[in-house]
Amino acid sequence: MDYRLDLYNAVGNYIDNASEHDALLVVTYNSKQGDYIFAIYGDNHQIPQLLASNDFREQPSMEEVESLLEIRETILNTAICLITYDKELRTMFTNAINKMNEEEKKSTQIKQDA
């Protein structure tokens, strides 16, 4: 338990000292004891942009790329679970996908007309 408390305190310290350019996402869960730590800090778009981007400022190692792919897979699996069991979120997701498809069709039409 001590290491989880240490992590909890470290996350709190990080958030207390973070700048506007920092972003943090931490999710831990202990299924035996049922406790968890969930922390998200920073601009709502920083973390999704990082996870969606393949444009890194520094060349990542293969281990970092594999970790990023694992994180992406976990997030996608989480999203699938959420929209499977929550009708309201499924509706929001469907609307967002439909809007993206409409915007893509408009963009394609504009390019074809040019």
Name residue 38's beta-bridge partners: 27
Q: Is the pLDDT of residue 49 over 90?
A: no
Interatomic CA distance for residues 95 and 108, integer angstroms: 20
**Structure confidence by residue, pLDDT tens digits, 90-104:** 999 999 999 998 988
| Domain segments of the chain as ranges | 1-53, 62-114
- State pTM to two decimals: 0.59
Average pLDDT of span 34-61: 79
Interatomic CA distance for residues 25 and 48, integer angstroms: 10
Predicted pLDDT of residue 99: 92
Q: Is the pLDDT of residue 41 over 80?
A: yes
Of 50, 58, 54, the C-alpha closest to 25 is 50
User: How many C-beta neighbours within 10 Å does residue 25 have?
Assistant: 16
